[in-house]
Amino acid sequence: MLIDTHSHIYEPEFDSDRAQALQRCLESDVQLLMLPAIDKESYERMFELVRQYPQMMRPMMGLHPTSINENPVWREDLARVEEYLHHPPQGIERFWGVGEIGLDFYWSNDYREQQMEAFEAQIEMALKYDLPIVVHTRSAWTEMCEVMERFAGRGVRGVFHAFSDDVESYRLLKKCGDFLFGVGGVVTFKKSKLAEVVKQMDLEDIILETDCPYLTPVPHRGERNESSYVKFVCAKVAELKEVDYQVVAEQTTANVKRIFKL
Ligand SMILES: [Zn+2]
């Protein structure tokens, strides 16, 4: 059994064939999808999917760092995250993580302080509700390591989604809490630096993800990504670690179940 730990399959890209995409998941033994939230523009779409497929979906709640840029009401939006964690909406049993949250300085450098404040506030929410964090990091690995070092020893647990930094950051972050590292389609790309890093990571620290509809793995690079393609990521990790596909599937699924208490 495989778990896609980062799926945006609730997005409109799947409106015309979502049921078939989910059927392809089951045919590839992808039985569970973890759904990271983005912001209020898409929360309701995510909730609706969870109501429709409660056995297969595990929703999270959070405010994405890029949803803080140019957003005059981001503090209200943060309050909404906390409200949802406290009182899940109708038909949603619970949330399984606080995410996706984090730092993204790729699009703009003008909201560093706001992103930092929102990130730290949401880590505090995760601690309060005993939930793992699911962390998005883009053009901000140095700052990410600094924030996590400040939280070291506080009992934070979670996932660095789409991990893309070097072995040194991997080792440093591991010391800051109980963390796993999300590996996705990028590892299948030719000349992927990540492939070399994955070779040096412990299989106990790795979980598999797609980030669909983005970051499509080979052999479908250039097309829309979907959760069933997590099997291609699994196969690539198996090749890099020189173990059987089944070994990677079992270990990464066990890792997900441990960190999310599934
Ligand atoms: Zn995402």
Range of the domain at 107: 2-260
Cα 61 to ligand 1 centroid, rounded to whole Å: 12
CB under 8 Å to 162, separation ≥6 — which residues? 6, 136, 137, 182, 184, 186, 209, 211, 215
Neighbours of ion ligand 1 (CB under 5 A): 36
- For ligand 1, the distance from its centroid to the CA atom of residue 65, given in whole angstroms, is 11
Q: Count of domains in the chain?
A: 1
Instruction: Tell me the CA–centroid distance for residue 168 and ligand 1, in Å.
Output: 24
For the chain, what's the residue count?
262
CA 111 – ligand 1 centroid, Å: 19
Going residue by residue through the chain (262 aa), what tens digit of pLDDT does each one get? 999 999 999 999 999 999 999 999 999 999 999 999 999 999 999 999 999 999 999 999 999 999 999 999 999 999 999 999 999 999 999 999 999 999 999 999 999 999 999 999 999 999 999 999 999 999 999 999 999 999 999 999 999 999 999 999 999 999 999 999 999 999 999 989 999 999 999 999 999 999 999 999 999 999 999 999 999 999 999 999 999 999 999 999 999 999 999 9
- CA distances 70 to 36, 65, 131, Å, are 21, 11, 28
Distance 164 CA to ligand 1 centre (A): 14
Q: Which two tokens stand for residue 118?
A: 């929102």
